[in-house]
Amino acid sequence: MPKITAEELDTAIIELDRENKIDIDALFGIHLNRNQAQHNRNMKRKSKYKGVGKDGLRWRARISYDGRIISLGSFSNEIKAAKAYDEAAKKIYKECACLNFLEGE
């Protein structure tokens, strides 16, 4: 297969666009919209707390240690899951732990 430069590729795309009357920008726009929709769906599953994610209707807490991901359980709300993560982080990482809540919250 012959090598082609980026400039040659751009020129070929423009020529194809003119010959076939294809609106390349519109095609890429549709693709970007689909990616945006997927991104929005994924964002609904994320939490603002470290180690917490949405799993169906429940919130799951996980922590990584020694190359493994340890499940800490599923919880009815995001804050309970975040507190479970904090407890595990304190036990595992001690004073180096990155916590979701300050001590005493």
CA dihedral over 39, 45, 51, 55, signed as positive or negative: negative
Q: Report which residue type is found at 36.
A: Q
- Domain holding 91, by residue range, is 48-105
Pairing status of strand 52-55 against strand 58-65? antiparallel
Which tokens in the block code for residue 56? 């169906």
pLDDT at 32: 47
Residues 39 and 13 in one domain: yes
**Cα(100)–Cα(79) distance, rounded to whole angstroms?**
9
pLDDT at 34: 54
Residues 40 and 53 in one domain: no
pLDDT along the chain (105 residues), means of 10: 67 62 53 55 72 91 91 94 95 92 76
CATH number at residue 65: 3.30.730.10
Cα–Cα distances (Å) from 29 to 19, 20, 84, in that order, read 20, 18, 42
Residues 19 and 57 in one domain: no
